[in-house]
Every structure is written in C-alpha cells, then in structure tokens.
Amino acid sequence: MKAFIFDLDGVIVFTDKFHYQAWKKMADGMGIYFDEKINNRLRGVSRVESLEIILERYEGEPLSAERKAELMEEKNNTYRKLLSTMTPADVTDEVRNTLKELHERGCKLAIGSSSKNAKFILEKVELLDAFDAISDGNNITHSKPDPEVFSKAGEFLGEKPDNCIVVEDAYAGIDAAKAAGMTAVGIGDAFGYDKADVKIQTFSELLKLAE
Ligand code: B16
Ligand code: MG
C-alpha cells in the first residue's frame, strides 16, 4: 500500500489567514507595506524566508540578526495566540474521513510541513493521532523546495521514495516532492502547477490513489 505525506497549512488546515494577521501586525509596527498578495508568496516558505520577503519593502537602516530574531518571535507569539483559538471544527469532515479511510485501507500517513508549530496545530484540531509520523520545521535544516522535509517523512515511515505520495498546495512543495523522488499531488494553489503528477480539486479524490 502507498504511503501519503501531507503538507499541513493549505492541505489539512488553513492557517494562512493567521499567518497574514500576525505578519501584518509586525509589518504595521515597522511601517512596512504588506498585503494579501505578498502573503501569498509566503505559502510553504519558512519563517525566516518569509521575514526576508516582507523586508523587501523595508526602507530603514539594515536590521541586525538579533532584531530579525525578535521580529520573528513577535510574529510567532501573535500567530500562536491566533492558533490557540483553533478547534476540531477547523478540519472538514471530508479531510477527517478521508484520512480515516486511507488508514483503514492500510496506507501509512505522515505530515511533511515547514512549520515549527505543526504539532501544536494538530493538537488543537485533535488530529495528532491520525498520523504515523510527523516531519516538520523542527527536524529540517533546509526548507522546501529542498526535499529534506519529505525525505525525512519517508524515512520516519520506513518507506522508499517511490512508494510515497506527497499532497501539497504550494509550488515549492511540489518541487520538493519531485526532488525527493516522490509522486506529487497538487491541491488548492498547486492545482494549477504543471509539475504536479496528479491534480485534485477535493481532498477525497485521494482515495482513488489508494485502490
Ligand atoms: P512557522 P506548511 C508553512 O506550513 C506555511 O505555509 C508557511 O506560510 C510558514 O511560513 C511555514 O509553514 C513556517 O511556519 O512559522 O509556524 O514555523 O504549508 O509547510 O505546512
Ligand atoms: Mg502548505
């Protein structure tokens, strides 16, 4: 049976609105222009790279590494406050039932997320037990499009890359999956990406890949 590796934000849950609010608060405090279009560029991108994208609009004196670390901490504190309002209702029945059905069919399931908050999010929505392994921002040194997060997820599951199917909403995530030698399924934003091996419009279409 196949092993599935799921990106978290944009596939299982939708926390981009919280990322937006938290970065917006930080950017406003620094007098930096930030909008939803710029926020879209942060999809699947690590925290430190997200900050650098936002700072492209910064016109003040160069910031020290310490100041950048402070800004990321400030953003993360706001973000975690927003995440703490999440409940199991933030995961659709379709997602929950599909994960259950894939498990029942004998598939192994893992998370492959850039986020350092992945476990916190999964606890809030009560999905931690739905996965056999979690590879996230805490166990990687290179972020997507580097394959590391997915290669680690495959290792944690004890599966070879050619048996792993990655489900991703970000272009960088599809590139990472292909670089890992895995099958890449594009959903959401990545539905429009020609490098995805399979494109799906709704989560339950994954069941067709586990027949
Ligand atoms: P954190 P994913 C990614 O999650 C988000 O899409 C991206 O916007 C965020 O910057 C990144 O996690 C890091 O998140 O600040 O919580 O460590 O899509 O890879 O599940
Ligand atoms: Mg994502």
pLDDT, tens only, 124-149: 999 999 999 999 999 999 999 999 99
Q: Which atom from ligand 1 is nearest to the alpha carbon of 16?
A: 8
Q: Convert 2-39 to b/e letters by CB count within 10 Å (16 or more is b).
A: bbbbbbbbbbbbebbebbbbbbbebbeebebebeeebb
**Residues with active-site annotation:** 7, 9
Asked if 6 contacts 39 with a C-beta cutoff of 8 angstroms, the reply is: no
Which residue of 6, 47, 138 sits with most ligand 1 atoms within 8 Å of its CB, as the best mutation to test the pocket?
Answer: 47
> What's the 8 CA to ligand 1 centre distance in angstroms?
8
Q: What is the pLDDT of residues 148-192, one digit of tens each?
A: 999 999 999 999 999 999 999 999 999 999 999 999 999 999 999
Residues with Cβ within 8 Å of residue 74, at least 6 apart in sequence: 26, 29
**For the whole prediction, is pTM greater than 0.75?**
yes
Average pLDDT over residues 17-44: 95
> What's the 129 CA to ligand 1 centre distance in angstroms?
21
Q: For residue 116, what pLDDT band results from cuts at 50, 70 and 90?
A: very high
Mean pLDDT across the chain: 97
Identify the pLDDT of residue 182: 98
Proximal ligand: closest to the CA of 111: 1
Q: For residue 44, what pLDDT band results from cuts at 50, 70 and 90?
A: confident
> What's the 154 CA to ligand 1 centre distance in angstroms?
19
Q: Closest Cα to atom 7, ligand 1: which residue?
A: 44
Q: What is the 3-state secondary structure (H, E, C) of 176-190?
A: HHHHCCCEEEECHHH
Tokens of 90: 């933030």
Q: For residue 18, what pLDDT band results from cuts at 50, 70 and 90?
A: very high
Q: What is the pLDDT of residues 55-79, one digit of tens each?
A: 999 999 999 999 999 999 999 999 9
Is ligand 1 within 6 A of the CB of residue 46? yes
Measured in whole angstroms, the distance separating CA 3 from the mean position of its chain's CA atoms is 18
